[in-house]
Amino acid sequence: MAERIHDRDAGRPVVQRASSTWPVATAVLRMVIVGIVYYLAARLGLRYALVAQNVTPLWPPTGIALAAFLVWGRGVWPGVAIAAFFVNEPITSMWAAAATAVGNTAAPLLAATLLDQAGFRHALDRIRDALLLVAVAVTAMALSASVGTASLLIAGDIHASGVGGAWAVWWTGDAMGVLIVTPVLLAIETAVHARLGLPSVARTLEAAALFLLIATVALVSVYTYLGFEFLLLPLVASAAWRFGPRGSAPAALVASAIVTWGVARSLGPLAGGSLVEQMLVLQAFNATVAITGLVVAGLMIERRSARSALERAAGDLEVQVQVRTAELSSTNARLTNEVAERREAERMLRQRERQLAEAQSLAHVGSWEWLLPQQTVSWSDEMYRIYGHTPQAFELTFEKAVEQVVPEDLERIRANLARTLAPEAEAVRPATEFRIRRPDGTERILLGRSTTQRGPDGAATRIVGTVQDVTEDKQAEREHRIAETLQRSLLPAQLPEIPGVAMAARYVPATRGTLVGGDWYDVLPLPDGRVGVTIGDVVGHGLRAAGTMAQLRLSLRAYAVEDPSPARVVGRLDAFVRRLIPSEMATLVYAVLDPVAGGVTFCSAGHPAPIVVDVDGHAAFLEGPPAPPLGSGWHESQFAEGSAFLPPGATLILATDGLIERRGTSLHEGLARLKKEVGLRSSEPVDAMCQRLVDALLGEHVDDDVAILALRSEPISAASVRLRLPAEPAALAPIRAALRRWLGHVGVDPLDSQEIVLAAAEACSNVVIHAYGAGPGVIDIEAASLEDGSVVEVTVADEGTWRTEPTEGGGRGFLVMRGFADTVWVDRTAHGTEVRLRRRLRARTPA
Amino acid sequence: MKDLATFTIERRDAVAILRVDGEVDMSNAEQMAEAMDLAAGEGSTVVLDLSATTYLDSAGIRLLFNLAMRLQTQRRGVRLIVPEDAPIRAVLEITGVPLLVPLETGIDPVERVP
């Protein structure tokens, strides 16, 4: 009994065997079913009884009992026993029926036990199972036949003379029951267990036709004397062949049942002769049919399973072949891949080698390896090139390489080598610079690096290193350094201090390569008190540009002192360039600033225009008559000048194109940026303004030199004035002009002014002559109005060392100072000398 | 505006007149010295006309002394023309130039030999 439980989760029915829940009920139900079926089959079987109403040639109940024991277990025996008793009870005595029942139960029990022991398979799908069933049926049924016959004899139902026949009929009947009925039931069980679906219509029709034919042939053979029974054998065999045990068992049952029924009714050819003869023929027929069916079915199943095993094996084989083929092809693909990869790797390696050689050549880096135990040295191609050899023509040894080191460096290199080889030395040695001489005599500067591998004993086993040819770099570096130094030395160390003019400048050398040099600026106090300012840019860079710039600067100074006209000064400079340094070209702007009148005149030779910004931040470029750069071939007279008014507090800015031009931006954009930046900073002190402009307009890397110069006219203080000018004869006139201007500004009488200026100028002359020897220096002058304007004090200071006492060699100079000053103090310290002149004014111009 | 000072030499018979226009300091004293040599070569008597000399300091005064002593040793005449209101008069006086060469206020007559 089965109970269906819905597994909601899985959504499909699950069958659970209920036998464990109701074992007793199931067992009892099975016994009842077996009993009823046994009884009905027995009643049917007795209708064919050949002997004493209870011995039949085909006894189906035994087959049913055996099938029940095999399928449901031997536990159902009570059903069999009770049914067997009630079957026999009406036809014999009570105890005989009981004895028969015992025999009829014990025989199938024995058979079931023997079959289970022998490993009998219910499916009857092997010949072995068919033969087992036959053997067990023949042997075990001797038990029921013996018990039954004995019971009949004792009960007096048969005579002693008939015992043999009765026994034989009993025995064969039981055996036939087993051979014919059990397979049918087992076939049903197998079919139920295998959960076979309904056969196809064609199969059903075929089976029906076959069974109909068998039945027809059996009936024909029974009702005629044609002896057609033999025709049943191939039909049963064909049923077995077509449908296996499920076909052969029913076919055998049908054939045997009809023929047996015929014999029992004394019909057909088998019915003739004595009881024993009938029995023998009938049982031989039944046995033949049953065994044929079983054996053919077993054969057929075996053959089919062999075929399916073969097919499976063939399928497996095919799968294996496919798997193997797939393995082989993947292996092949892998191999192909590997070959391709290896080829690619080789190509990459060759490419790397080429790239390495190219990189070494580009960077002028050669590499070397020294294997110490073998004493072999190998060099890269670039290494040979650096040392001035060709790889084929030079037999390499370490000593030969060392021999090329110049004598000055040889000692150092040998010491370095010794240190490298020392067991305790560090693996990577610091880079060493040294020089070598090539076979052709040229000298190269090299930078060597190496790293050492050591054996377990600490001794160096392998040293690898690189050598970089830094000759060009070193030369470029040196040239850059010289150019920058020259450049800086040629620019004013300090800007002069001129009353009424604040000024500041910046020079930023190019940060890369030898692009330094060629930009300059200069401020020249002119004898008439005006200030000449210039800024210029020599085309080209490096030492040569710096040299050209030096010549231009000195020439301009000479011309500027002699001539107040910027156009003429620039014209003369142009002529100078054309005549004396014709291959050079430069741009420049030269402007003369009048701090008193607030005017500026200027001349530009191809240089970016100066820019003027007033206190409110309005900026404008000073556009003058255009002129080409110096050295372009213009005539002196063609240079013309422009002029502009510089209001109080306005700033004049001159710059070189490095400040304006930047990579990726147009000159126009650069000028606009400069103008904007200048406008933003018009109220800052000039020094801060210059710095801010440089910061704002220059990036981290300066591609070109930059010079910037800013001048601003400032109101003159009435209380004091300060000048700071180079200690040179040319400074004396500007000093006098500035002093006179200030003295006039503070209302000093011209006569007093003249004498004060004379005294101060003498002090300055002394500084020029005595303080600095032949070297450069500065004069620091401070004039102050004291005691409510009745006294003027002028201090002239220097930072030099006098070779004579200021009071001694001064001679007439001191005479003049003493003559025109009321008091003269001389204060001499290690840091310089200070001369203080004090004068009470004789007369004052009424304010 | 041009050089700090200009030097012009005018010859009248045996007299060479050197006129100094502008300022003289150590920056152009050498020019003045050359001009003096030229003038001394031109005439037996040298007249230094300092009427238009606006500034003269010890560098120039040294030259005056040198010239005066040189010519006087050779028994040649040397005259200094310095107007009363000349700005350089005070410095000449302070340095004692008049002790060697008297300061005259006018140039005429040029023939006058001290």
Q: Are strands A501-508 and A460-469 parallel, antiparallel or unpaired?
A: unpaired
Cβ of residue A156 closer than 8 Å to a chain B Cβ? no
- Identify the pLDDT of residue A591: 95
Which of B3, B58, B87 has its CB closest to that of A762? B58
User: For residue B9, what pLDDT band results from cuts at 50, 70 and 90?
Assistant: very high
Q: Give the B window 16-75 contacts with A, CB below 8 Å.
A: 23, 25-27, 55, 57-59, 61-62
- Identify the pLDDT of residue B64: 92
- Identify the pLDDT of residue A517: 66
User: For residue A511, what pLDDT band results from cuts at 50, 70 and 90?
Assistant: confident
Whether A847 has a pLDDT exceeding 70, the answer reads no
Contact between B94 and A732 using a beta-carbon 8 Å cutoff:
no
Range A413-433 average pLDDT: 82
- Angle (deg, nearest 10), helices A77-88 and A23-46: 30
- Identify the pLDDT of residue A805: 66
DSSP string, A204-237: HHHHHHHHHHHHHHHHHHHHSSS-THHHHHHHHH
Asked if residue A751 lies in contact with residue B88, where contact means CB atoms within 8 angstroms, the answer is no
Range A324-329 average pLDDT: 88
User: For residue A358, what pLDDT band results from cuts at 50, 70 and 90?
Assistant: confident
* Mean pLDDT lowest among A50-59, A484-493, A612-621, A664-673: A50-59
Higher pLDDT, A47 or A141: A141
Range B18-40 average pLDDT: 93
The pair of structure tokens assigned to A439 is 């076979």
Contact between A820 and B90 using a beta-carbon 8 Å cutoff:
yes
Whether A4 has a pLDDT exceeding 70, the answer reads no
B-chain residues within 8 Å CB-CB of A754?
A: 87, 90
Higher pLDDT, A639 or A844: A639
Mutate one of A565, A758, A767, A818 to test the B interface: name it (highest B CB count within 10 A): A758
Which of B1, B26, B55 has its CB closest to that of A564? B1
A-chain residues within 8 Å CB-CB of B25?
A: 729, 732-733, 736, 761, 765
Cβ of residue B1 closer than 8 Å to a chain A Cβ? yes
Asked if residue A622 lies in contact with residue A633, where contact means CB atoms within 8 angstroms, the answer is no
What Rg value do the Cα atoms of chain A yield, rounded? 68
Whether B16 has a pLDDT exceeding 90, the answer reads yes
User: For residue A673, what pLDDT band results from cuts at 50, 70 and 90?
Assistant: confident
* Cis geometry, peptide bond prior to residue A628 (ω within 30 degrees of 0): no
A-chain residues within 8 Å CB-CB of B26?
A: 729, 732, 765, 768-769
H-helix or E-strand containing A249?
helix A245-264
Range A571-581 average pLDDT: 88
Highest-scoring range by mean pLDDT, A482-491, A733-742, A804-813? A733-742
* Mean pLDDT lowest among A190-194, A607-611, A803-807: A803-807
The pair of structure tokens assigned to A330 is 């993947």
Contact between A819 and B95 using a beta-carbon 8 Å cutoff:
yes
**Percent of chain A surpassing pLDDT 90:** 13
Asked if residue A795 lies in contact with residue A782, where contact means CB atoms within 8 angstroms, the answer is yes
Q: How close B14 gets to chain A, by Cα (Å)?
A: 32
User: For residue A211, what pLDDT band results from cuts at 50, 70 and 90?
Assistant: confident
B-chain residues within 8 Å CB-CB of A755?
A: 90
Whether A757 has a pLDDT exceeding 90, the answer reads yes
The number of CA neighbours under 13 Å toward the Cβ of A489 is 12
DSSP string, A150-196: HHHHHHTSS-GGGHHHHHHHHHHHHHHHHHHHHHHHHHHHHHHHTT-
User: For residue A16, what pLDDT band results from cuts at 50, 70 and 90?
Assistant: very low
Whether A162 has a pLDDT exceeding 70, the answer reads yes
Residue in B with minimal Cα distance to A529: B1
Q: How close A768 gets to chain B, by Cα (Å)?
A: 9
Which of A729, A754, A820 has its CB closest to that of B27? A729
The pair of structure tokens assigned to A705 is 């030199």
Range A89-103 average pLDDT: 80
A-chain residues within 8 Å CB-CB of B55?
A: 736, 757-758
- Identify the pLDDT of residue A9: 42
Q: Give the B window 86-105 contacts with A, CB below 8 Å.
A: 87, 90-91, 94-96
For residue range B73-109, list pLDDT tens digits in order: 898 989 999 999 888 999 999 888 998 899 999 887 7
- Identify the pLDDT of residue A1: 40
Burial class (CB in 10 A: 0-12, 13-18, 19+), A374: exposed
Helix extents (H) in A591-682: 657-660, 667-680
Contact between A813 and B58 using a beta-carbon 8 Å cutoff:
yes
Range A145-168 average pLDDT: 80
Average pLDDT, chain A: 83
Which of B1, B61, B87 has its CB closest to that of A812? B61
- 3-state class (DSSP) for residue B92: helix
Highest-scoring range by mean pLDDT, A409-418, A575-584, A605-614? A605-614
User: How many cross-chain Cβ pairs, A to B, lie less than 8 Å apart?
Assistant: 66
Which of B27, B58, B90 has its CB closest to that of A733? B27
Cβ of residue A769 closer than 8 Å to a chain B Cβ? yes
User: For residue A430, what pLDDT band results from cuts at 50, 70 and 90?
Assistant: confident
Whether A796 has a pLDDT exceeding 80, the answer reads yes
- Identify the pLDDT of residue A589: 94
Model ipTM value? 0.87
Q: How close B75 gets to chain A, by Cα (Å)?
A: 25
Which of B3, B57, B87 has its CB closest to that of A816? B57
- 3-state class (DSSP) for residue B73: helix
Contact between A754 and B90 using a beta-carbon 8 Å cutoff:
yes
Range A647-672 average pLDDT: 82
B-chain residues within 8 Å CB-CB of A562?
A: 2-3
Whether A795 has a pLDDT exceeding 80, the answer reads yes
Contact between A564 and B2 using a beta-carbon 8 Å cutoff:
yes
Q: Which residues pair with A466 in a beta bridge?
A: A367, A449
Q: Give the A window 508-527 contacts with B, CB below 8 Å.
A: 526-527
For residue range A163-196, list pLDDT tens digits in order: 877 787 788 788 888 888 888 888 888 877 776 6
The pair of structure tokens assigned to A343 is 């080829």
Would you give the DSSP letter of residue A364? Answer: T
Residue in B with minimal Cα distance to A569: B2
Burial class (CB in 10 A: 0-12, 13-18, 19+), A595: buried
- Identify the pLDDT of residue A764: 93
- Angle (deg, nearest 10), helices A275-363 and A127-155: 150
Long-range contacts of residues A69-75, Cβ cutoff 8 Å, at least 24 apart = A69/A108, A69/A109, A69/A111, A69/A112, A70/A112, A70/A115, A70/A116, A70/A120, A70/A122, A70/A182, A70/A186, A71/A122, A71/A185, A71/A186, A71/A189, A72/A30, A72/A34, A74/A109, A74/A112, A74/A113, A75/A27, A75/A30
